[in-house]
Amino acid sequence: DEQHRFGVAQRAKLLSKGDNPHLLVMSATPIPRTLGLIIFGDLDISVIDELPPNRKPVRTVLLPVSGRGRIYKFIREEVSRGRQAYIVCPSVEGSDEMKSAVDFCNELQRTVFRGISIACLHGRMKSEEKEAILSDFIKNKISVLVSTTVIEVGVNVPNASLMIVENADRFGLSQLHQLRGRVGRGSRKAYCVLVSDAR
């Protein structure tokens, strides 16, 4: 699984270990190279089109930046129900066009989400600090986690019901698919909101 984490050379090395071995490639992510191999190469495709038991489909919507007020209201509603939210920013350091995870978290803490437990997580933090923040999020000590894509794979918080992706046009299809997969891991309805003014 997570076959997009393997490089071309790694896959070739695995295939060279036998005399024309069979290869089963699995992925929940629409990876451009794999889709290309299916269409133009020698890969057959099998589709598992069922969700695990008790899971509901994640509702995904695209909203312009002007819709942020509605998003914040919805986050507060979800948190008041005991649920949690991710807000993903494309980078640790921002620019005029792009939200910085650290600055955005500080701004939200001061203004919109006063009284709500909020934390920031990014790849430049020390491992112990990242693990402590993730542990607190898993235990629901943190209600809103502002993060970079470090949460893209391997984070399982069934109580998280909302994924907000800031500057969604800065992410590739595979990343958006992986980020959306962080919510909807429990039995509750989950939502993914892509925020972008790009056309």
Q: What is the pLDDT of the chain when averaged over all its residues?
A: 86
pLDDT tens profile 42-101: 677 777 777 777 778 899 999 999 999 999 999 999 999 999 999 999 888 766 667 789
Residues of the chain above pLDDT 70, percent: 86
Closest to 183 measured CA to CA, from 170, 165, 198:
165
Indicate whether 186 pLDDT > 80: yes
Nearest to 62 by CA among 142, 185, 147, 180: 180
pTM score above 0.85: no
Residue 1 has pLDDT above 60, yes or no: no
Mean pLDDT along residues 151-172: 90
pLDDT in tens, 138-158: 999 999 999 998 988 778 899
